[in-house]
Amino acid sequence: MRPLKLDLNLFVVFASIYEKRNLTRAAEALFITQPAVSNALARMRKALNDPLFVSSPSGMVPTPLAENIVGRVREALQLLEASATAGDVFVPATSQRTFRLSMPDLTEAILLPALGELLQQQAPGMNIECYFTPRSEVAAALETGKIDFAIDVPFLDDPHLRQAPLGSDRYACMLRHDHPFTCDTLSMDDYLALGHIQVSSRRQGSGFVDAEMKRLGKQRQIRMRVQHYMVAPLVALRTDLALTAPMQLLQRHDARIFELPFSLARLEWHLYWHRSKAQDQASIWLRSKIIDLLSDPKMPAEKPKRKRKAAV
């Protein structure tokens, strides 16, 4: 094996500059001086014959070469760290690790209360941070270490990622208890006569439900469009609008729930992580807990009981 021409510490500095986009913040993160970071960057620039980062008003912008190698650099550093700690025994009760997760607001509401309770009991020093990562950026965020896990629909097909299914849920329709519609079942004509809430983070375009309606040659009446699933039931509870959403969300509210008058594919969730974390004992432990929690059919909160009105 030929000896490396570059000091491995230079790659650590490179990864920090890439993440922080600022030499001073990179130095603070590494507990070294800013001149030391500048010197390391100069050595890498000379060795790779590329500026790697270009100064701009928004920070240090990576060059195409830097973008090209950052994934492999981060993976190599993570593998080295994992190798160095391979003999360590992971003890949840004393762990001080911070894990960063990306997931939709619906999954946050379902997972985080149960996960927080579990960590309080088994790993009280472990920290969880949640961020929204656009779907198109999830693979890169996992590769560069910006996030440790992502929960999303099964759409990612990247050879550097690993995934595990987290179960599925069916869609249903929710109306408030005193809604003018009084029938026990919902026909297609009934469904189309209602005003609907659409949940979408995009400014325009059809969602999952409306794509199926279009395939059937139908169109529902969208009266309100909201960004997040968690606010939609609150609107439905105070209006005559109907909400079509996953059952795990609807069951958390005191409302009437109807089976849909048409077939709709189940919503599936998958957990994603980068392959470089495959042997990380803390990562293995946390992802096993997430898989167990989201695969448990009893985890969603029970539907609250309606209060009876006092007799007059």
Strands 171-175 and 256-258: antiparallel
- Asked if 161 and 176 sit in the same domain, the reply is no
What is the pLDDT at residue 80? 74
Whether residue 125 lies inside any domain: the answer is: yes
Whether residue 303 lies inside any domain: the answer is: no
**Residue 38 exposed, middle or buried by CB count within 10 Å (0-12, 13-18, 19+):** middle
Contact present, 104 and 244 (Cβ < 8 Å): no
Whether residue 90 lies inside any domain: the answer is: no
What is the pLDDT at residue 303? 47
* Residue 159, SS3 per DSSP: coil
Q: Tell me the residue range of the domain where 26 lies.
A: 8-84
Whether residue 311 lies inside any domain: the answer is: no
Of 155, 154, 111, which Cα lies nearest the Cα of 130?
Answer: 111
pTM above 0.75, yes or no: no
What is the pLDDT at residue 167? 85
Contact present, 136 and 124 (Cβ < 8 Å): no
What is the pLDDT at residue 254? 94
- Asked if 69 and 47 sit in the same domain, the reply is yes
What is the pLDDT at residue 64? 93
Interatomic CA distance for residues 298 and 229, integer angstroms: 21
Whether residue 2 lies inside any domain: the answer is: no
- Asked if 65 and 195 sit in the same domain, the reply is no
Any idea what the CATH number is for the domain that residue 283 is in? Answer: 3.40.190.10
- Asked if 291 and 159 sit in the same domain, the reply is yes
- Asked if 185 and 252 sit in the same domain, the reply is yes
Interatomic CA distance for residues 116 and 16, integer angstroms: 29
Whether residue 306 lies inside any domain: the answer is: no
Residues of the chain falling short of pLDDT 70: 1-5, 81-88, 156, 203-206, 296-312
- Asked if 71 and 110 sit in the same domain, the reply is no
- Asked if 153 and 180 sit in the same domain, the reply is no
What is the pLDDT at residue 196? 97
Whether residue 214 lies inside any domain: the answer is: yes
Any idea what the CATH number is for the domain that residue 39 is in? Answer: 1.10.10.10
- Asked if 175 and 254 sit in the same domain, the reply is yes
What is the pLDDT at residue 105? 87
Alpha-carbon dihedral angle through residues 87, 89, 95, 99, given to the nearest 10 degrees: 60
Number of independent structural domains in the chain: 3
Whether residue 108 lies inside any domain: the answer is: yes
